[in-house]
Structure 1
């Protein structure tokens, strides 16, 4: 019997108003000042203030760091490390989607493991010795699930590539998943992050490292997303709550079993064209599902059924097509584009090589050659 590891948050809080717990969570542990990592748009539109106002009301000092980009860079992280050192903070709160969370994870790891200050040396399975700074993670999107993962992704602008860091020491100590923090998300962001969550769930369910505990979580996440993403897209409160749960559930699973080439290809599209990660994942997902379908056993049957498809009497070919069609329809219903106009012929060799070298690629259930990757990228042209 093989041994499977599962790493989770120590504590998580879920539901409307969950952010009310944050001040006491900090005070009860004796922390004096929080370093708050959030992106500029969340600050501008008052989302970050939902948390920082609570800190003020409860007499907890904080310093805000908002030099966060949609695809966070090495420089973002290094600036954040210096800002943390200068702030006098002794704990961290990350507020946002994957970008804020990933930036905060890298900052917290480097603060306690300064030998990785170059950031690049964190790529892959990072051999850090100490846990990150005590962190409370507050997601504002219903998709990335970074509040409950051991992964983060940083962009190397100089080399035009993203690199994945995998480290059990980076998982936030506490996740506070409050759907009210997601209520102001515009439709486009709701769609892209929701489809990112679906990509996590389907890739995590079919990855080479999948096993029973992760499978039950990922399959439930697929069901929740199929039921709630369209409603969340219309800003329905129940849909928001369903997506908040779905992203957390699948993140618990995929963080521990890995992903596949939909993510490795999306990473390189983000690095080269600055394509939003969720949009890139959503465009790649049905293409990769078609590529993988004959290597997934009967799992596409259960994916189709999670979308409320009646698979009675269907053979393998039929239920696999039904699963792919259901994903395509959801993507279309929430306005995801099918083509990437920026993608050019001359970039294809670099895109394929980068995708093949990405840390997510080995988890794909079907090995993909450079020629396979090129054929899939071409479907976006």
Structure 2
């Protein structure tokens, strides 16, 4: 059996680490950046923390700020045209998963024009050429898009999200600065934080898991579980720990895959624009319970990593229950809604949601093989 790990060429961590951006631009002899972000990050002057550095250093850039949550094919296509006209030779992605994913799609298409049809990027593919160089600067602690080889685009016409998996899309530099995440409101911290926990838990139990990824995922579960509550409260140490924990989770799952939580979450984003972190957070404990008997003793490890005491004395059934209950308790403490009804899911849509979830590329990694009937029943049980 052969395993593969793909990570960023260079990453920086810690409060204030954004200062290293200028050194990276200089040593790579980049000439002009296209800054990919969204209007809120411009409005609230989060992106300004980056552009001020570029201005001070005298570096050229142009801004593309039309990224939306759950970025669409149209957003990507417009970004490609903006890049072509700008004369840029690299991308700076500032934001959560949406700007990061948009930048990846732009960078891949620019250097692989045969994929101008964005839908052609779906699935696990091997493009001919690496993306335009990307420097990724996350402003949320959750998606870990800055370290993954995955990105997700919404096909609004067909009301579906599709996952693209391509080793050529990974940013060459990631700067994980918790001060760039300081403006996140508590609800966003909670949702993105449980998204990161979902990455770690699904990555630990997915069919592709192995020893190196296990090490990353267990550490990520530990860090996120101890830090998320304090991060949501606005504590600086919690925020810095969350920035690290979500990145560690990304290091793992990017290389081994995910499971049914993501498979069922993606259609919610496509149908209703549900924030991805919220969708994952609502689904996670229920699908953990659905998967439990197909995970061996791994839920015992998850429960221990989440701080549950005396797990070694528990039966396997008790340990599995403890892991699920620990996630439910964390969700409750940070204000995650308990049902799909509360996040705007329409019950009559469930059959179509189930079809989309079954077809999602993430679903194949689930430890328990599933089918349309069971997925539909899961949606209804969480409704």
Question: Is 1:248 aligned to residue 250 of structure 2?
Answer: no
Give the Cα separation in 1 of the matches to 2:240 and 2:157: 39
Which residue of structure 1 lines up, in the alignment, with residue 60 of structure 2? 61
Contact 2:282 2:337 in 1 (8 A): yes
CA contact (8 A) 2:139 2:180 kept: yes
Shift in Å, 1:66: 0.8
Q: Which runs of 5+ in 2 are unaligned?
A: none
- Counterpart-to-counterpart distance in 2, 1:379 and 1:329: 19
Matches within 5 A, 1:1-381: 2-310=1-309, 311-341=311-341, 342-381=344-383
SS of match in other structure, 1:107: helix
Output the CA distance in 2 between the equivalents of 1:188 and 1:380: 21
SS at 1:366 equivalent: coil
Alpha-carbon distance in 2 for matches of 1:3, 1:312: 32
Question: Structure 1 residue 288: deviation in Å?
Answer: 0.6
Q: Distance in 2 between matches of 1:175 and 1:345?
A: 40
Deviation of 1:141 (Å): 0.5
| Conserved? CA contact 1:136–1:173, under 8 Å | yes
Counterpart-to-counterpart distance in 2, 1:130 and 1:26: 21
Contact 1:8 1:171 (8 Å CA) reproduced: yes
In structure 1, stretches of 5+ residues that fail to align are none
Secondary structure of the residue aligned to 1:229 is helix
Give the superposition deviation at 1:200: 0.2
Could you tell me how far apart the structure 2 residues matched to 1:144 and 1:252 are?
11
Question: Distance in 2 between the 1:123 and 1:225 partners?
Answer: 30
The structural deviation recorded for 1:193 is 0.4
Bigger drift between 38-47 and 146-155 goes to 38-47
Contact 1:80–1:107 at 8 Å: present in 2 too? yes
CA drift of 1:258 comes to 0.1
Question: 1 CA distance for matches of 2:277 and 2:347?
Answer: 23
Write the deviation string for residues 268-288 of structure 1: whole angstroms up to 9, x where unpaired.
Answer: 111011111000000110011
Is the Cα–Cα contact under 8 Å of residues 198 and 222 in structure 1 kept in the other structure? yes
CA drift at 1:340: 2.5
Q: Distance in 2 between matches of 1:31 and 1:68?
A: 23
Give the paired residue count: 380
Runs of 4+ with deviation above 2 angstroms: 340-346
Over residues 8-39 of structure 1, what are the superposed CA-to-partner deviations in whole Å (9 max), with x where a residue is unaligned? 11110111111101112112211111110011
- Normalised to the residue count of structure 2, the TM-score between the two structures is 0.98
Contact 2:126/2:167, CA 8 A, preserved across alignment: no
Q: Return the alpha-carbon distance in structure 1 between the equivalents of residues 233 and 98 of structure 2.
A: 24
Distance 1:247 1:352 in 2: 28
Please report the RMSD computed on the Cα atoms of aligned residues, expressed in angstroms.
0.8
What is the distance in 2 between the residues matched to 1:355 and 1:216? Answer: 29
Deviation at 1:177, TM superposition (A): 0.5
Q: Is the 8 A contact 1:343 1:380 kept in 2?
A: no
Distance 1:257 1:3 in 2: 12
- For residue 346 of structure 1, report the CA deviation from its aligned partner: 2.2
**Equivalent-residue separation in structure 2 for 1:235 and 1:195 (angstroms):** 16
Superposed displacement of residue 379, structure 1:
2.4
